[in-house]
Structure 1
Amino acid sequence: MSPAELTVERDGQILRLWLSNPGRRNAITWAMYDGLLGVREIVAADPGIRVVVVRGAGGEAFAAGTDIRQFADFETGEQGVEYEHRVGEVVASLLEIRVPVVAVVEGPAVGAGLAIAACCDLVVATPDAVFGAPVARTLGNTLPPVVLARLQQRLGAGRTMAMLLTARLLPATEAAVAGFVSEIVDPAALDEQVEGLLQTICANAPLTLAALKEVERRIVHGGPGADADDVLAEVYGSRDFRAGVAAFLAHRAIEWEGR
């Protein structure tokens, strides 16, 4: 059996991440967490990357939580605190990636898998996808504030608490109603639909996309009155904006430079 790993692949303007833990529904190991923690720096150092896509290897699961074997030697509460801090760091890091991040969810996105999907800007799911963190029924552990806050932001506070308190898994249809899932796609058309979505994102103005993500982050932390004048000034002062205005008035296409 192949070892658990996070595979990172640069494919043109796309950075592809594959969560892989064969036989364990891609449950996340410490090494996989460490790999996810490094993605922000990979993207920051490579201006040619326009979008990140995260998928579970094998097509049967996105990620079914943390690999429980790693909890077997936990003996103190402090070990749990350290673990949740690690998860919180990964979540914060994924949320700070400057380009759009797309999750492609087949099967369960549970526990840590749900947290990772919640960090993505768009979630494309197959009809068999399910979402949840049934720790109240399974392990008897809990979630750190950063994960709970993100779930409330993406699913709504009421639905999030109902899901967690009842240890229920949400089907893709309900997650779509909540706005968590952006599109439900038949498995036969999944790869084609995902590639079309990624190419659409790659064709859009990268400074605009990065600015939208940064403004959203500031709204989350500071409310609708959050200061974003520096972000607005960077976009309006860019070569891309001037070229975009000129191209629009001349009725011609534009290739964005990202500066």
Structure 2
Amino acid sequence: MTDGLEFTRDGAVARLTFSRPEKMNAITRGMWAAIPGVAAEVEADPELKALVLTGAGRHFSAGADIGEFRELRSTAEAAAKYDEAVDSAVAALTAMRKPTVAMVQGNCIGGGCQISVACDFRFAADDARFGITPAKLGIVYHFASTRQLVSLVGPAHAKYFLLSGELVDATRAREIGLVNDVFPAADLESATARFAETLCARSQASIRGMNRIIEKIVAGQERTDDEVEEIRLAALHGEDYAEGVDAFLNRRAPKFTYR
């Protein structure tokens, strides 16, 4: 695994940890470049059903490692190449059909917040702080990530983040829809684990199909297409559908088998 990242498994749940606590888990270009491979590994492994992303120590991530910028973003051409790694990481997380959960403690700023927004869910400790700071660096934010942020919190709140570079606390982040829920720091791990277990217990055919359809909607698609109809038809013919209906009618917990 790339320096600065740790990848572990616990049953059906994988975990990707930003592991540079001495740098507040700042993300290097090498770490950005490694994320698509992690996403692909999780997607390809039939034993894995969800991916949790978090940071080692007190923080999720303070963002991209600015210490690299003088060397790796010293010219417009170099910056464009660097941004390719960032864009690929965000695209890989966005395209995952298996659900992703950002478990956020402490600072979640810049590229760290960008990663969390690319995930399907965000659970935060009550000490978490969120911010996106391109206006402090003279950078114009990525199109795909801007679209995701606008879809999540609306244009007014997206402008607040991107134009001011100000930070918001976890309570405010929940109020505007940036995070799904907030927990006392001591309870964040167990709350996230419970939710991951819930995801693993649901029909994976349903989860992955709906995740793909939602991705299309967020990207601007307004009508169904052949892929959407194929996803829905395959689910109707799948074993999970028959199992779910039978379990409901017989008042028992379903045992889904789709992998």
For this structure pair, what is the TM-score category when the shorter chain's length is used for normalisation? over 0.9
Question: Does residue 100 of structure 2 align to residue 107 of structure 1?
Answer: no
Give the 5 Å matches for 1:207-226.
207-226=205-224
Structure number having the greater helix percentage:
2
Alignment map for 1:121-160 (pairs within 5 Å): 121-137=120-136, 139-160=137-158
TM-score, normalisation: structure 1: 0.93
Segment of structure 1 superposing worse, 217-226 or 110-119: 217-226
Query: What CA deviation, in whole Å up to 9, does each residue of 1:91-143 have, x standing for no partner?
Result: 11101111111011101111110110001111110111111112322x22221
Partner of residue 31, structure 2: 32
Could you say what secondary structure the match of 2:18 adopts?
strand
Equivalent pair of 1:27/1:67 in contact (CA under 8 Å)? yes
Paired position in structure 2 for 1:55: 54
Residue identity in the other structure for 1:207: A
Q: Answer yes or no: is 1:257 the counterpart of 2:254.
A: no
Cα distance per residue 1:39-75 (max 9 Å; x no partner): 22112211221111011011x1101111112112233
Q: How does 1:199-214 map to 2 (within 5 A)?
A: 199-214=197-212
Structure 1 residue aligned with 2:5: 6
Tell me how far 1:222 sits from its aligned partner.
4.2
Over the aligned positions, Cα root-mean-square deviation in angstroms equals 1.5
Q: CA deviation at 1:225?
A: 1.5
Kept in 1: contact 2:133–2:166 (CA 8 A): yes
Equivalenced residue count is 255
TM-score by length of 2: 0.93
1:179-229 deviation per Cα after TM superposition (whole angstroms, max 9, x unaligned): 121110001222221211111111111111111101101112343313211
Conserved 8 A contact 1:9-1:17: yes
For 2:233 and 2:147, how far apart are their aligned partners in 1? 30
- Gap runs ≥5 in structure 1: none
Question: 1:35 and 1:11 mapped to 2: Cα distance?
Answer: 21
Report % sequence identity: 33
Q: Report how far residue 4 of structure 1 moved.
A: 4.4
Contact 1:4 1:29 in 2 (8 A): no
